[in-house]
Structure 1
Amino acid sequence: MRTVLQGGRVFDGSGADPADADVALENGRIVEIGSSLDGDEVVDCAGSTIVPGFVDSHVHFMADGNLDPAVFQATPFSLNFYLAAERMGRTLASGVTTVREAGGADLGMKEAQTRGVVAGPEMLISITLLSQTGGHGDHWMACGEAVPSFSIPHPGRPTGIVDGPDEMRVKVRELIRAGADVIKVCTSGGVLSPRDDPRHGHFRDDELDVLVTEATAAGKWVMSHAQATDGIKSAVRAGIRSIEHGIYLDDEAIEMMVDRGTYLVPTLIAPMGVLEAADRGVNVPQYAIDKTHQVMEAHRDSISRAIDAGVKVAMGTDSGVIPHGQNLREVHEMVRCGMTPAQALAASTSVAAELLDVLDDRGTIEVGKRADLVVLTGDPFDTATLGDQVGAVFQSGHQVAGAVTIGA
């Protein structure tokens, strides 16, 4: 079957302005782009804009804005996987067709999507985040027990607490054995973790060097939760591919990222999600609320300066901190930090696909690429309303969400 998205405009993901064109799909691929194209099935896209499927570089499907530790404590372990399946479908319906799962999802969840058991974005998984003792992934409390979180260890998800180069080498190999596509490490403290400070760098250079060496040997990239200035610089020096959050960027860190081509994944809506959860009555721990207020101004200032300096920025939301399905809010927040709408859309498609090393397969609208596409019913440069514009979502050429009717 040859399907044609007809009569609309095309934003190809490169950052160029939209242009009138039809897009023909066959066998899950884009086979032709032009005018007056014919097909066995036709989608009337008059007045709409066709964009590449969005790529979210940072999500957590095992959480959903439920930031009260008591929620995790009261949730049966296996129920989390059923809840995650619904969140995956919600994310796909929002127009996100590919994600990098930044901690929580295991190989079984990825396989469920790949085999078509559940609907959701295609996933690159990190399984769990690597943290030093007392770091962002360590939920130990003063009572002597750990607060339950979305990453409880099980046979497919090893514990992520690691100290020293030798332990790091073993842990990276464990994660690769478990099916990790990418390795995630925390080179600083964070906001939602109880016993650390987002201004403090974590792990030493020898530990990070071993991490990157082992990941590279297995053909894997590394992503770093890095909020502290020192933690950001340590990650960049070690050759880590992307900085997640980047809250306390100084001029030297920005220059290092530009020089080395390190990507920045801002996750601007994540701190917003913490305060929004508290506003809607979620029992968010006070330490998380306090640290969110501490970082928000610095976060936006850092991202704005990085954008202005030319750091490569890829969209990532940290969804899970904020409820899933609101992913496209991040596009508007990048615009508020200084990107043009075209740049923010490119960051959410082609640049994010480049970060995930899948740009040869998706992320732009080109002949031969996978037909992951979104039909937007409004102006794509009106980023404040982007989430409300999703009329249809296509994944590998199949309509998987949306109300647009296919007619002969």
Structure 2
Amino acid sequence: MRNAILSLLLLIVNLVSAQDTYLQCGSIYDVSTGKMNTERTIIVSGSKIKRIENGFVSGTASDRTIDLKNRIVLPGLIDMHVHIEGEYNKGSYMKEFTQNEADIALESTVYAKKTLMAGFTTVRDLGGTGVNIALKKAINKGLVDGPRIFTSGMALATTGGHADPTNGRKRELMGDPGPKEGVVNSIDDAKKAVRQRYKNGADVIKITATGGVLSVAKSGNNPQFTLEEIQAITSTAKNYGFSVAAHAHGDEGMKLAILGGVNTIEHGSFMSEETMALMVENNCYLIPTISAGKQVAEKAKEPGFFPEVVARKALEIGPIHQSTMAKAYKKGVPMGFGTDAGVFPHGKNAIEFGYLLEAGIPVKESLKAATIINAQLLGMENELGKIEEGFTADIIAVEENPLKKVGTLENVSFVMKEGVVYKQ
């Protein structure tokens, strides 16, 4: 009797695991060609796309059919620049002294779910306290709903530079952070900091090649690493299988980062035409983050929202950012897609598509950047970014054609990640 029950349970498990999902799609947007393929059915088995068939096809009685006949279906979107641990508000700077890691972790789960529900099934997190690594693991285990995360853990800075975690504190609280905390002041420090991130479980290295806007530090533009330090970071990163992303607003720091071998430049606010040519020559990708520039410029006008030193930088950098991205696109600078969500509310990531369109970048190109190109930058081009047989079943749907109405991307009505439906 016991063996019969076990056999029955095994049969039930096999039947459940064999269930496929049939997505009957009004149109599937092909991010490679920019064309719509109408009346198609995507068959998903487990976490993968099993096949795609013409017309509206149904499976057996044990399979699941989902009606997306009035929807435009796309691959899950990828944001290459978020800060998933938090969101900036008037109280953000005080939180450093009032929040424990557990507080940050619990809040981060809310931001992760908002991001996933917005149709971003993969993100690259570029700097936090280290909670971002724990969040990535929790999502991978299925404990938390959120996007697939590739994270840098804590970013790398120089003493007093953007991402030095003790900027703005009184002397008694400054201490002397080093490579473990992400502060680098020599070639040896650079190597050790990269190796520490490997030990911590990071997926990518993020450096702050210039000053930044939101740090409590004087300059938002000055170069903050030597060429030799950057080269030590990128060569060590390569040994450990890391790519390197460089936050950079000022032009000189960008040049050093590109010559030093980084893979992406984040922001690029004051990029010169000479540096644009250097990016093309070195196949270094620009991650635009126009949304963040818009947000900080707007919030800097609100009295008391930012410390005075931050507000001044925001008013300087924010207004020129979008025009620089427009010029970079015209010059042929290779571009990915990233938003800097966390600087503005998580879940609003898709507003970037509208800002890119305002800058003269067609929606067709920005969708390709947010799928195929970003997947390539993550080394996941054979798994993510396309709706094709054998690819991971990260699939979203919207109400209208995004090529005609870009705002529809801000209202995703269906989200599937790895074959699991999170929003319908």
State TM-score, norm by structure 1: 0.92
State the secondary structure of the residue aligned to 1:316: coil
Q: Distance in 1 between matches of 2:97 and 2:271?
A: 35
Equivalent residue number for residue 99 of structure 2:
75
Q: Distance in 1 between matches of 2:376 and 2:409?
A: 23
Q: Deviations over 1:113-151 (max 9, x none)?
A: 10001010011110011101111012422732669xxxx
State the secondary structure of the residue aligned to 2:364: helix
1:89 counterpart (90, 94, 113): 113
Equivalent residue number for residue 170 of structure 2:
143
Q: How is 1:122-161 mapped onto 2 (pairs within 5 angstroms)?
A: 122-138=148-164, 139-141=166-168, 143-144=170-171, 158-161=180-183
| Post-superposition offset of 1:43 | 1.6
Q: Distance in 2 between matches of 1:146 and 1:226?
A: 27
1:82 is aligned with what amino acid? Answer: L
Q: Following superposition, which runs of at least 4 residues in structure 1 exceed 3 angstroms of deviation?
A: 275-282
Kindly indicate which of the two structures has a greater share of residues assigned to helix.
Answer: 2
Considering only CA atoms, is the larger Rg found in Structure 1 or Structure 2?
A: 2
Verify the 8 A CA contact 1:328 1:386 in the aligned structure 2.
Answer: no
Equivalent residue number for residue 30 of structure 2:
12
State the secondary structure of the residue aligned to 1:48: strand
Q: Is 1:391 the equivalent of 2:413? A: yes
Q: Distance in 1 between matches of 2:197 and 2:382?
A: 26
Verify the 8 A CA contact 2:398 2:411 in the aligned structure 1.
Answer: yes
Verify the 8 A CA contact 1:15 1:345 in the aligned structure 2.
Answer: no
The 1:255–1:67 alpha-carbon spacing in structure 2 relative to 1, beyond 3 Å, is farther
Q: Is 1:50 the equivalent of 2:76? A: no
Q: Distance in 1 between matches of 2:208 and 2:25?
A: 47
Q: Distance in 1 between matches of 2:169 and 2:67?
A: 60
1:206 counterpart (208, 214, 228): 228
Equivalent residue number for residue 319 of structure 2:
297
| Post-superposition offset of 1:18 | 1.8
Q: Distance in 2 between matches of 1:82 and 1:142?
A: 25
Number of aligned residue pairs = 395
Q: Is 1:99 the equivalent of 2:123? A: yes
Q: Distance in 1 between matches of 2:192 and 2:211?
A: 23
State the secondary structure of the residue aligned to 1:390: coil
Q: Is 1:181 the equivalent of 2:203? A: yes
1:80 is aligned with what amino acid? Answer: I
Equivalent residue number for residue 311 of structure 1:
333
Q: Distance in 2 between matches of 1:145 and 1:270?
A: 32
Q: How is 1:324-335 mapped onto 2 (pairs within 5 angstroms)?
A: 324-335=346-357
Verify the 8 A CA contact 1:136 1:196 in the aligned structure 2.
Answer: no
State the secondary structure of the residue aligned to 2:142: coil
Q: Distance in 1 between matches of 2:104 and 2:305?
A: 19
Verify the 8 A CA contact 1:15 1:343 in the aligned structure 2.
Answer: no
1:48 is aligned with what amino acid? Answer: R
Verify the 8 A CA contact 2:26 2:71 in the aligned structure 1.
Answer: yes
2:53 is aligned with what amino acid? Answer: G
The 1:390–1:106 alpha-carbon spacing in structure 2 relative to 1, beyond 3 Å, is closer
Q: Deviations over 1:80-129 (max 9, x none)?
A: 10000111011100000001110114432211010001010011110011
State the secondary structure of the residue aligned to 1:129: coil
Equivalent residue number for residue 29 of structure 1:
48
| Post-superposition offset of 1:337 | 1.1
Q: Distance in 1 between matches of 2:263 and 2:90?
A: 28
The 1:189–1:11 alpha-carbon spacing in structure 2 relative to 1, beyond 3 Å, is same
How many percent identity over aligned positions?
A: 30
Q: Deviations over 1:378-403 (max 9, x none)?
A: 222245423443111000111012xx
Verify the 8 A CA contact 2:397 2:414 in the aligned structure 1.
Answer: yes
2:243 is aligned with what amino acid? Answer: W
Q: Distance in 2 between matches of 1:275 and 1:299?
A: 10
Equivalent residue number for residue 16 of structure 2:
none
Where structure 1 has 5 or more consecutive residues not aligned to the other structure, the ranges are 148-152
Where structure 2 has 5 or more consecutive residues not aligned to the other structure, the ranges are 1-18
Q: Distance in 2 between matches of 1:65 and 1:384?
A: 26
Q: How is 1:331-350 mapped onto 2 (pairs within 5 angstroms)?
A: 331-350=353-372
Verify the 8 A CA contact 1:190 1:196 in the aligned structure 2.
Answer: no
State TM-score, norm by structure 2: 0.88
The 1:19–1:282 alpha-carbon spacing in structure 2 relative to 1, beyond 3 Å, is farther
State the secondary structure of the residue aligned to 1:312: coil
| Post-superposition offset of 1:184 | 0.6
